[in-house]
Structure 1
Amino acid sequence: MQTMKNATTTVAVASRRRFISIGAAAGLAGAAPWAFAQEGYPKQPIKLIVPFAAGSGTDAVARITAQMLGEALKASVIVDNRAGANGVIAAEFVAKAPPDGYTLFMTTNTTHSANPSLMKSLPYDPVKDFAPVSRMGNLPFMLVVNNDLPVKSVAELLAWGRAHPGKLTYASGNSTGIVSGATLSRMSGVPMLHVPYKSTPPAIADLIGGQVSMMVVDLAAGLATVKAGKMRAIAVTTQERTKLFPELPPLAETPELKGFDITSWNGVFAPAGTPRDVVLKLNKVLSEMANGTAFRERVAKLGFDAFGSTPEELGAFTVAELAKWKKLIQAAGIQPE
């Protein structure tokens, strides 16, 4: 009886071990392919999603990033513009993409700082749905006006607006433009009508054509048009003057706008769940690139101030910026839509 009991126990244990082994194998067989994506990564082209149209500042920086990232990884990196809905279309696409390292997101404070306070609901969470990779830098903005508007300074613009109530309109192609325009109106007390656009390039086109009076645009997107004399720049949104336009005073130098300081930032994210090895490999390349001379010199011509970070630093920065932009938006009197 004892022998039979031991034999039965042995069979049961063996069967249980076999069951566990089969279950484990089945689990591995059914595992998502990106669970092993870090081995030999990258093995296929990488998409770098941009939430704005071609010709925008983020697009310009993304194209330089894609080229240099591809060279470093010895892989093809393709810029994929998915403009619309203030970056929501692109952000949702990336959030729901396979976390295998082949879909990356070059984005800004629009999707990852401002949208949660500008919109009542979002189809993505800027913290939970993304894996931070690296910061890439900051992009200053400037206030530009239509050439036919008879003003050459912020003081003259505000005086004209007070003398012509209801006549000033401002375009926007992103959250920085929305919040900057609303803040300018609130702080100065001059009513300004907001005209939203899908992205920056069509907003610039209408500004040149006289459909809108002014807009706050990033230096990269507005640089060529300003230098061509098609629209007039009168100030920057940062508290410091920029190297590209040292003659432009900060908006904060105007008495009514003391303390005005709004800057856009850029960073690279991957979908949440992307293998840690892949994130670290990408971070090493991107952070070294952003801190390196070659990249910095190229993007500096666009007015972009480049610098990299660790994934953890970008993650903490994102959380802090969400709180900062919530305060900016509430102070500007903008209601979520």
Structure 2
Amino acid sequence: MKTWLRRIAQATAALAMLAAAQVTSVTAARAAYPEQTITFICAFPAGSGADVLVRYFADKVAKTANATVIVENKPGALSNIAAEYTARSKPDGYTIFVHSGNSIAGNMWIMKKPPIDVVTDLKTIATVNKQAFVIAVTKDAPYKDLKELTAAMKEKGEAGSYAVNATSGKVLAEVYKQITGLNTVAVQYKTASDSLNDITSGAVDFGSYDPVFALAQQREGRLRILGVGAAERIKGAADIPTFKEQGYDIDQLGWWGVMVAKDTPDDIVNTINGWFNTVLATPETQKFLADQGGEAYITTPADAQALMAQTVKEWEEYVRIAKIPQQ
């Protein structure tokens, strides 16, 4: 009997030692994060406004984390290719999707069969900035403000056209049309850059663009921004009036966030959130975002996830108001 009890005790002790070793091993592995290259996923092509923002944060996070960070561009399908790729990736913190929260939230209602649920298949763990899309025209256009543009587009009717490429821009333009009663026709482009020749040549009358692209083109003397789709003016371009200032009740302030696969461990999530918040707190980054038409937006992982869920609910109404057909 004593021998039997001693064997049980020895086996129990061995199992306890094994369990402790496994816990120590997992803890060490987590503590070592990151120990390999981190990939930031960008849903737009290299050289686009979104790509500029993603690469900026890739560089700054790499320095903050003392890690190697690369950017992989996966454009197309209204950003669903990049979103689905991230959702299906290994939940280890080495695949990080940096993108517009509004755009992928809107896709939940624009797509007939979204490939993923952005609330349950992804985990939004940080925010990057707040920004709003804008309406812009070629620099030589005769329209000096939104009222002049609206009057001209009413005269043109269905002969008038405008460029869109992103979900947020599509909704801004459609709501603007609804409010003003325009019949202007949307022309879909894969990227904002693809529309540049058409808008500067007059083939399309205006564009609904992200502020990164629009501000860059305005500084280069190609475009002129007529209105900002948020309640307040852009910090980096305080001379550009909002829609509301010009008599159009539109407030669609957007945000960019950081997303990973849903089962990514909390300790890794907190680490990544800390990296971004550290970068966002610097004056250099705040100036960069202001120059790109936005402002730093610091949150906790819990707040970021709650924001995504709320944004999905809000965009159901936006898509309904804009009467955007499902794809």
- Length-normalised TM-score, structure 1: 0.87
| 1:183-262 aligned within 5 A | 183-255=175-247, 257=248, 259-262=249-252
Following the alignment from structure 2 to structure 1, what is the Cα–Cα distance between the partners of residues 312 and 306?
Answer: 10
Whether the aligned pair in 2 keeps the contact of 1:53 and 1:200 (CA below 8 Å) is: no
Following the alignment from structure 2 to structure 1, what is the Cα–Cα distance between the partners of residues 27 and 173?
Answer: 45
Q: Which residue does 2:44 correspond to in 1?
A: 52
| 1:298-309 aligned within 5 A | 298-309=288-299
Q: What is the CA deviation profile of residues 170-210 of structure 1, one whole-angstrom value per residue up to 9, with x for unaligned ones?
A: 21121111101111111100112111122222133432243
Cα distance change of structure 1 residues 214 and 320 upon mapping to structure 2, 3 Å threshold: same
| 1:94-243 aligned within 5 A | 94-147=86-139, 149-243=141-235
Cα distance change of structure 1 residues 75 and 333 upon mapping to structure 2, 3 Å threshold: same
Cα distance change of structure 1 residues 295 and 244 upon mapping to structure 2, 3 Å threshold: closer
Following the alignment from structure 1 to structure 2, what is the Cα–Cα distance between the partners of residues 217 and 203?
Answer: 10
For 2:268, the aligned partner's letter is V
Q: 1:295 aligns with which of 269, 285, 302?
A: 285
Whether the aligned pair in 1 keeps the contact of 2:236 and 2:294 (CA below 8 Å) is: no
Following the alignment from structure 1 to structure 2, what is the Cα–Cα distance between the partners of residues 98 and 35?
Answer: 18
Q: Which residue does 2:255 correspond to in 1?
A: 265
Following the alignment from structure 2 to structure 1, what is the Cα–Cα distance between the partners of residues 27 and 193?
Answer: 39
Kindly state the Cα deviation for residue 282 of structure 1 after the two structures are TM-superposed: 1.0
Cα distance change of structure 1 residues 149 and 167 upon mapping to structure 2, 3 Å threshold: farther
Q: Please give the root-mean-square deviation of Cα atoms over the aligned residues, in Å.
A: 2.7
SS of the residue corresponding to residue 143 of structure 2 reads: coil
Is the counterpart of residue 331 in structure 1 residue 321 in structure 2?
A: yes
Cα distance change of structure 1 residues 194 and 128 upon mapping to structure 2, 3 Å threshold: same
Identity of paired residues, percent? 28
Gaps of 5+ in 1: none
SS of the residue corresponding to residue 45 of structure 2 reads: coil
Following the alignment from structure 1 to structure 2, what is the Cα–Cα distance between the partners of residues 36 and 118?
Answer: 44
| 1:34-49 aligned within 5 A | 37-49=29-41
Q: 2:273 aligns with which of 280, 283, 302?
A: 283
For 1:144, the aligned partner's letter is A
Whether the aligned pair in 2 keeps the contact of 1:132 and 1:315 (CA below 8 Å) is: yes
Aligned residues: 322
Cα distance change of structure 1 residues 205 and 40 upon mapping to structure 2, 3 Å threshold: farther
